[in-house]
Chain A
Amino acid sequence: MPELKLTRRAFLIRSAVAGGGLLVGFHLPAATKLAAEPLVAPAGEQPVEVNAWIVIQPDDSVVIRVARSEMGQGIFTALPMLVAEELGCNWNRVRAEYALASVNLQRDNVYQSMSTGGSRSVRSSQELLRTAGAMARELLVAAAARRWGVPADDCQAENSVITHTPSGRTVGFGAVAAEAATLEPPQNVFLKEPDEWQLLGKPIPRLDVPDKIAGKPVFGADVEVPGMLHAAISACPVFGGRLKGFDAAAIEQRPGVVSVVALDAAVAVVAESWWQAQQALQALPVTWDEAGNGQVDDAQIRANLEAGLNVDDAVTMAEHGKPALAFQSAQRHIEATFYAPYLAHATMEPMTCTAAVHKDGRVEVWVPTQNATASLEAAARIAGVDPRQVEVHNTQLGGGFGRRGAYQDFVEQAVHIAKAVSRPVKLMWSREEDTQHDFYRPASMAHLKAALDGEGRLTGMVVRVSAPSILISLGRKADDGHDPLALQGLADTFYAVPNLRADYVLRRLHVPVGFWRSVNHSQNAYFREHFLDQVARATGQDPYAFRLDLLKEAPKQRAVLEAVAGYAGWGKPLPEKTWRGIAVETSYGSHCAQVAEVQVEDDGRFRLLRIVCAIDPGHVVNPDTITAQVESAITYGLAAALFGEITLRDGRVQQANFNDYPMLTLRQMPRVETYIVASGDFWGGVGEPPLPPVAPALCNALYAATGKPIHSLPLSAHGLRPA
């Protein structure tokens, strides 16, 4: 996902340096008064903000601010680790808290982007955070040295204590923090080399686990503010439609009901409790203007995508070599068409937001958001106030997966409703509303064609994707038919294909589309990797050896592929009815290869035995978090590959809840073996990269078992189901 373009005054200068370490120059706006919620301090003593990221408490404990959202991926631990590594504080006394979007606005974007997506949190902010930690350390050391009248070079910080090495004198961070905050930050600091890291690279326990096993974290759904009412909402079941009318009198007498609020394309019932609101909403007679979309069904959508495969005006997103010539001179062509359906995010916590529009013009929202800045802007827009009048209180997120960032529809609705009833309101969507009003992973159809020479070598490939565009529908890209995301992994493939053309055909459909964990890599890796297995098998080649041959100039991808093949025992005999499939993908800065092992019965039922995964994320911040994210992305990807399908009838989504949009369960979950093969010379993401390989690895295993390629997902549509 592209970064929000924002001006930034904080700048970063790199310099060539001697003596190890990365020298960085860095300007943090001068410490200003704490705008965050007051921190607890002993009487008479105050916590001190050394810079925007770091607050030192009088007792030497440290609060580290996190500007990205914790949605399970572990950044409430990983990002503080990056700061603490350089700060030299006692990790056991670190607490993480959210940085505020309002502060980011007031302080000229000191936190830079607050958008949490694209597996970007660590890789795009690691240098900023390490630098913030190093800057603060330098200030604390300088303050101690000044107090002692000694050179700062003779002092060092470790475990939240500064020591004057020659004399052995010590002072805690808390005792010098106030003075440190008044000093001019250094122009340049050195960052540690990886071999000097003490925290980074270690499986540090997550800071949020103790609360999460006790039911304590406050998710969006758990917010309670004084005088608050509850709202349930129903949006027009046909996308693009509008609210035409409703009969409020039919429900106004029901217990607890306070108000019925009309929105443009939705109606909300406000009541004393959510249950009352939801019950009343279900009983409310509503009529909708379906805007002419009330007839659209899945067959039409597929026909539309299929037509896209045959249009003459496709946009060529990548071309190299001479693909047309390659096909003319080829000994053999192999081609296939694939389809991947719409998918909902289905976060465990449905969309929710609490809003208060105060009489003095201030607006507050409490929201599980993947982008607090976007939430702030949405609230200001709907309330009609200056963005500086808005405070966003981030809560924990009951999952995100791309649903809660670029789209702030739930914030807009909550602010609208709170304004209408002049009371704070907590809006919560039912599961059904959540399933039927998502911004779906785009349905996509692809045609892949391979040219082969006499020895079965791949000499050319022509790929065409026919699908709606997320970026164009969001207005983030000119509506010119180009979408660089639509061909992720196809236009920019790492395989050595000497002649390649990758075309995109934009389709305009009425179903809202959005960023879904790993975005278009999720469909495109399935298309490409499953197709390569078809090519390999058609030419009598082993799928692993066939790939290796195409990866001669891609050492990182080759390394993860070799690693996973080794750990999975590729090529070794398997028990009866057991089959393997392999796949590899590079996405969001990391390389990931997987082998799926399945046991297939004659009736098409199968057991997922294990997924072996090798991932190269470059540098490793927290290996246990990486392992957990591999398990997570595999679970998410498997649920989609096995059952995931949002279909349309009468312009409406047919699925509503977990009975008809099923999830993977514990019983079906395969063993996952994760191997982190970190090459250590780059910073890659981990939230998404393990997802794209799982569907093709599984499809390739089933293909090996049955000899039948799988031309569309989910597998359940082909009678292929886990036992």
Chain B
Amino acid sequence: MLQLMVNGQKHELDIDPDTPLLWALRDHLHLRGTKYGCGIGLCGSCTVHVDDRAVRACLVTVSAVSGKAVTTIEGLGTGSQAVQQAWRELEVPQCGYCQPGMIMASVALLREKPSPSNDDIDAAITNICRCGTYNRVRQAILAAARKREASDA
């Protein structure tokens, strides 16, 4: 039995320990906000947080994250409100498929760098979007950072 802590809840899973976290989340824990896009860690649609850092869930096995805190788009708490609000105000999503991954990557970036530069965003947001939401993603990250600064001040 593998123990998984996802969105603050403990789960016991009787699955192959080599199962990628992505498929454990989607097919065993029924958390389908985390998406499959490439399976090789390039597109970022499966981005989740493991101990607060952005991780591509298709590349880590469930056994590797056992005992760590996994957060998915469904479990994003109040810390992400500024990001999601900026996303909403700037009407970022189009088809929406890559957006949970984009949001997870952005929340992790802002946690690490509360006032990211454009270069920081370039380096951190390597997620692929086929609809072309990139410029709005960038603007939303910058807007969320400003919003947080304003509320912290």
Q: CB within 8 Å of B: which residues of A?
A: 70-74, 205-206, 208-219, 221-222, 224, 230, 255, 273-276, 346-350, 396-401, 428, 430-431, 624, 628, 631-636, 639, 657-659, 663-667, 669, 671-672
- Which A residue's beta carbon lies closest to that of B94? A72
- Sample of 20 further A-B pairs with CB below 8 A, known A72-B95, A213-B92: A205-B88, A214-B84, A215-B72, A273-B23, A273-B27, A275-B27, A276-B16, A348-B130, A349-B95, A350-B36, A430-B39, A628-B133, A631-B135, A632-B94, A632-B132, A657-B40, A657-B42, A658-B38, A659-B40, A659-B42
- Which B residue's beta carbon lies closest to that of A665? B126
Q: Do B132 and A634 have beta carbons less than 8 Å apart?
A: yes
Given A206, A210, A428, A635, which contacts B131 in the complex, CB threshold below 8 Å?
A635
Bound complex: CA A397 to CA B93 (Å): 13
B residues less than 8 Å from A639 (CB atoms): 130
Q: Given contacts A72-B94, A73-B94, A208-B93, is CB(A663)–CB(B128) below 8 Å? A: yes
Q: Do A399 and B131 have beta carbons less than 8 Å apart?
A: yes
Which residues of chain B from 92 to 115 have a CB within 8 Å of any chain A CB? 92-100, 103
B residues less than 8 Å from A634 (CB atoms): 132
Instruction: Assess whether B138 is interfacial by the CB under 8 Å rule.
Output: yes
Bound complex: CA A430 to CA B40 (Å): 11
Q: How far is the CB of B121 from chain A (nearest CB, A)?
A: 7
Q: Do A671 and B135 have beta carbons less than 8 Å apart?
A: yes
B residues less than 8 Å from A230 (CB atoms): 27
A residues less than 8 Å from B37 (CB atoms): 348-350, 431
Q: Do B96 and A217 have beta carbons less than 8 Å apart?
A: yes
Q: How far is the CB of B77 from chain A (nearest CB, A)?
A: 12
Q: Do A628 and B94 have beta carbons less than 8 Å apart?
A: yes
Q: Do B30 and A348 have beta carbons less than 8 Å apart?
A: no
Q: Given contacts A209-B88, A666-B138, is CB(A348)–CB(B98) below 8 Å? A: yes
Q: Do B23 and A431 have beta carbons less than 8 Å apart?
A: no
B residues less than 8 Å from A349 (CB atoms): 35, 37, 95, 97
Q: Do A216 and B33 have beta carbons less than 8 Å apart?
A: yes
Bound complex: CA A634 to CA B27 (Å): 35
17 contacts between A and B (CB under 8 A): A72-B94, A205-B91, A212-B99, A213-B99, A219-B35, A221-B36, A275-B20, A348-B95, A398-B95, A398-B98, A431-B37, A631-B132, A635-B134, A657-B38, A663-B43, A663-B130, A667-B123
Q: Do B135 and A348 have beta carbons less than 8 Å apart?
A: no
Bound complex: CA A347 to CA B103 (Å): 19
Q: How far is the CB of A706 from chain B (nearest CB, A)?
A: 26
Bound complex: CA A160 to CA B20 (Å): 50
Q: Given contacts A657-B42, A658-B40, is CB(A628)–CB(B91) below 8 Å? A: yes
Q: How far is the CB of B32 from chain A (nearest CB, A)?
A: 4
Q: How far is the CB of B111 from chain A (nearest CB, A)?
A: 18
B residues less than 8 Å from A70 (CB atoms): 95
Q: Do A213 and B32 have beta carbons less than 8 Å apart?
A: no
B residues less than 8 Å from A218 (CB atoms): 32
Q: Do B93 and A212 have beta carbons less than 8 Å apart?
A: yes
Bound complex: CA A212 to CA B93 (Å): 7
B residues less than 8 Å from A428 (CB atoms): 36
A residues less than 8 Å from B72 (CB atoms): 215
Q: Given contacts A221-B36, A635-B132, is CB(A666)–CB(B126) below 8 Å? A: yes
Q: Do B42 and A215 have beta carbons less than 8 Å apart?
A: no
Q: Do B73 and A214 have beta carbons less than 8 Å apart?
A: yes
Interface core residue of A71, A230, A671 (most chain B CB under 10 Å): A71
Instruction: Assess whether B125 is interfacial by the CB under 8 Å rule.
Output: yes
Instruction: Assess whether B127 is interfacial by the CB under 8 Å rule.
Output: yes
Interface core residue of B35, B84, B103, B134 (most chain A CB under 10 Å): B134
Q: How far is the CB of B41 from chain A (nearest CB, A)?
A: 10
Q: Do B91 and A398 have beta carbons less than 8 Å apart?
A: no
Q: Given contacts A273-B27, A275-B19, is CB(A346)–CB(B91) below 8 Å? A: no
B residues less than 8 Å from A217 (CB atoms): 96
A residues less than 8 Å from B23 (CB atoms): 273-275
Bound complex: CA A633 to CA B15 (Å): 42
- Among all A-B residue pairs, the 7 with the closest Cβ atoms: A215-B33, A635-B132, A72-B95, A398-B97, A72-B94, A215-B73, A212-B96
Instruction: Assess whether B129 is interfacial by the CB under 8 Å rule.
Output: yes
Bound complex: CA A323 to CA B151 (Å): 69
Bound complex: CA A56 to CA B147 (Å): 39
A residues less than 8 Å from B95 (CB atoms): 70-72, 348-349, 396-400
Q: Do A399 and B97 have beta carbons less than 8 Å apart?
A: yes
Instruction: Assess whether B137 is interfacial by the CB under 8 Å rule.
Output: yes
Q: How far is the CB of B17 from chain A (nearest CB, A)?
A: 12
Instruction: Assess whether B146 is interfacial by the CB under 8 Å rule.
Output: no
Bound complex: CA A45 to CA B33 (Å): 34
Q: How far is the CB of B45 from chain A (nearest CB, A)?
A: 6
- Which A residue's beta carbon lies closest to that of B97? A398
Instruction: Assess whether B152 is interfacial by the CB under 8 Å rule.
Output: no
- Which A residue's beta carbon lies closest to that of B75? A215
- Which B residue's beta carbon lies closest to that of A255? B16
Interface core residue of A71, A398, A657 (most chain B CB under 10 Å): A398
- Which B residue's beta carbon lies closest to that of A630? B132
- Which B residue's beta carbon lies closest to that of A352? B36
- Which B residue's beta carbon lies closest to that of A426? B27
A residues less than 8 Å from B148 (CB atoms): none
B residues less than 8 Å from A274 (CB atoms): 23, 26-27
Q: Do A666 and B121 have beta carbons less than 8 Å apart?
A: yes
Q: Given contacts A214-B84, A348-B37, A348-B45, is CB(A666)–CB(B127) below 8 Å? A: yes
Q: Do B97 and A219 have beta carbons less than 8 Å apart?
A: yes
A residues less than 8 Å from B40 (CB atoms): 431, 657-659
Q: How far is the CB of B124 from chain A (nearest CB, A)?
A: 9
Q: How far is the CB of B86 from chain A (nearest CB, A)?
A: 10
Instruction: Assess whether B10 is interfacial by the CB under 8 Å rule.
Output: no
Q: Could you give, for residues 1-45 of chain B, a 1 whenever the CB lies within 8 Å of some chain A CB and a 0 otherwise?
A: 000000000000001100110010011101011111111101101
